[in-house]
Amino acid sequence: ELFEKKNYELRIAGGAVRDLLSGVTPQDIDFATTATPAEMKEMFTSAGVRLINNKGEKHGTITARLQEQNFEITTLRIDVVTDGRHAEVEFTTDWQKDAERRDLTVNSMFLGLDGTLYDFFNGYEDLKSKKIRFVGKASERIQEDYLRILRYFRFYGRIAEEPGDHEPSTMQAIKENAKGLAGISGERIWVELKKILLGNHVDHLVQLMYELDIAQYIGLPPDGNLEEFSRVAKHIQALSPKPMTVLTALFKAKDDVTNLDLRLKISKEEKNLGLFLVKHRQELTKAVGPEPLRPYQDFLMDSREANTNSKIFELLKYQGEEQLLKEMQEWTVPSFPVSGHDLRKMGVSSGKEIGAALQQLRDEWKKSGYHMDKEELLSCLKK
């Protein structure tokens, strides 16, 4: 109503339009308008609407807070200068010019609040036929911001029906511009890469990263283990893995994790998970016999580290052990029933002897599959 009163046009933009047309509820809704930031500020302030200061203003974005929700509204703009990472912008009132500077056709549509779709580049057709295409010339879009190479992969994994349905000219443009990714910050790359790892066609897309010469610029090992990656990718998607669990399949040694961390600045937790999987994926496997979970349970009981159980869940996903994963998630870690206090009551007095006796009893308890209770354990000791 505020925008209408002032005769400024206001439309929903980009990703939210794509989601609405795909029948998905958008996570967040961005708006585009013909009003400039200064005009919006004046309009909102005089209407008593609170503005959130989040430094987006020089790019043309104003954030208004209404009914406990933040709304981002961005002035239509043209990129004047781009250096492959960020752009200097100039405001416009031309909707098509704004659509031209967006990355992919499916992300370049606007939706009027009356339900009119404004689609300058056949984005709706592409969405219906599940095609991922750059707006205009692929190489130009990529050179404006090299991260768009990874955004192409991300949306391909989200929207495309089949692996391998790419336009040859797009593949060519990506290959020719791959090394532009070397100049993009690790944090921005990691955000995109994580989404790719959890999307569809992940095996196909990672193989492409190697074919198109992208891998080396984004921290992946030059000789990644693509066979292992294919094997792991087949079953893991259904088990809701962490991105790092999927990615570790490429790694042959712990240096691969360290190099990834140097390039992408992954979190400490992600790094530790990668190192854990590389170290234990071969030897920490299920037991043959009636208690397949025992090795995992024993490992957990012996571990002195935090978060070991969540790392073991990820290891089971990596190994494709869906049934064991369910059982392990339902298993509660039993607590050791004997304390030093119990031993003192039985007349063991020196600290050294207590320590040794407790260790012996822990071993017995472990052998029993953690089933022996206090009485049984103490009678062992008497023997």
CATH number at residue 107: 3.30.460.10
pLDDT given for residue 80 in this prediction: 77
Residue 119: domain span: 1-128
pLDDT given for residue 349 in this prediction: 77
234, HSE (Cβ side, Cα atoms, 13 Å)? 9
Domain-located, residue 376: yes
Domain-located, residue 194: no
Domain-located, residue 150: no
Domain-located, residue 250: no
Question: Which domain-ending residue is among 71, 97, 128?
Answer: 128
Question: Which domain-ending residue is among 82, 106, 128?
Answer: 128
Handedness of CA 177, 180, 186, 187 (dihedral sign): negative
Mean pLDDT by 10 residues, the chain (383 residues): 94 95 91 94 93 79 90 90 76 94 95 95 96 95 95 96 93 96 96 96 96 96 96 92 97 96 96 96 89 90 85 96 93 84 80 84 84 84 71
How far, in Å, CA of 318 to CA of 328, rounded? 14
pLDDT given for residue 360 in this prediction: 86
pLDDT given for residue 54 in this prediction: 67
For the chain, what is the radius of gyration of the CA atoms? 28
Domain-located, residue 167: no
CB 212 within 8 A of CB 175: yes
Query: Which positions ≥6 away from 202 have C-beta within 8 Å?
Result: 157, 196, 233, 237, 246
How far, in Å, CA of 165 to CA of 130, rounded? 10
The pTM of this model reads: 0.86
Domain-located, residue 271: no
Question: Which domain-ending residue is among 128, 149, 181?
Answer: 128
pLDDT given for residue 381 in this prediction: 76
Number of domains in the chain: 2
CB 169 within 8 A of CB 138: yes
How far, in Å, CA of 66 to CA of 2, rounded? 12
Domain-located, residue 347: yes
How far, in Å, CA of 277 to CA of 253, rounded? 10
Domain-located, residue 326: no
Which three-class secondary structure state does DSSP give residue 80?
strand
CB 85 within 8 A of CB 149: no
pLDDT given for residue 383 in this prediction: 66
